[in-house]
Amino acid sequence: AQKITQTQPGMFVQEKEAVTLDCTYDTSDQSYGLFWYKQPSSGEMIFLIYQGSYDEQNATEGRYSLNFQKARKSANLVISASQLGDSAMYFCAMREGGSNYKLTFGKGTLLTVNP
Amino acid sequence: NAGVTQTPKFQVLKTGQSMTLQCAQDMNHNSMYWYRQDPGMGLRLIYYSASEGTTDKGEVPNGYNVSRLNKREFSLRLESAAPSQTSVYFCASRRQTNQPQHFGDGTRLSIL
């Protein structure tokens, strides 16, 4: 079974609108962490936001927020006021408590922002 | 401001040739990682080094070896390259558990 599932291979959004990228995860650990990375067409991996399993509040970083629903095992990324530069591949990743050093990545969602 | 530096950026090999991908970080991070990225597969962990002097297999270690030369450097070796190893390879490093991994710019490797 996949540990990280990103069900949207591709998403389109109009500039200035908000968009939600889905991520569900599978773990039996109580302690874990969830990360989102952005990969533009130039290829580098850019860290966006982190949510720990014990964090009581949803993480926010500028226009990025993480909608963390622990019971549903989902950690969706919300990008507000989309910009053309947000067009990229977005990856959700999980660190499980039993393997503190490793991240498991989802297959990614390709976001296209239309002018 | 270097962060994680990977060399080379591009390489073309013939089947059966050997190659070492180099990675160095200047952030004093303890853990280092090698991933491969294939279309539609996301990033898959090849090997990692939790700290200087230790290395462990990841999800797809077959056909690769690694060396944690010191705290800064973590190399990935392909002893006998195969076309299935054509991929983009990323090195990453991390300071501690809940910190994000910082990635290099990747090495695009083609094996003919």
Q: Cβ contact (<8 Å) for B101 and A47?
A: yes
Chain A residues with CB inside 8 Å of B54's CB? none
Half-sphere exposure of B9 (CA within 13 A, CB side): 5
Token pair in block for residue A21:
């990228």
Which DSSP letter does residue B101 get? P
Chain B residues with CB inside 8 Å of A35's CB? 100-101
Residue A100: per-residue pLDDT? 65
Work out the average pLDDT over B5-9: 96
Upstream peptide bond of B8 is cis (omega within 30 degrees of 0): yes
Among chain B residues, the shortest Cα distance to A97 is held by B97
Residue B90: per-residue pLDDT? 97
Give the torsion through C-alpha atoms of A63, A66, A67, A72, to 10 deg: 160
Which DSSP letter does residue B73 get? B
CA B87, CA B70: separation in Å to the nearest integer?
26
Residue A6: per-residue pLDDT? 96
Residue B42: which of A52, A102, A105 has the nearest Cβ? A105
Is the confidence at residue B96, as pLDDT, over 80? no
| Distance (Å) from the alpha carbon of B42 to chain A's nearest alpha carbon | 4
- Tell whether A52 is within 8 A of chain B (Cβ): yes
Q: Give tens-digit pLDDT for B48-58.
A: 998 888 999 99
Q: Cβ contact (<8 Å) for B100 and A102?
A: no
Q: In the block, which residue shows the tokens 């302690």?
A: A31
The top-scoring range by mean pLDDT among A15-24, A100-109, B88-97 is A15-24
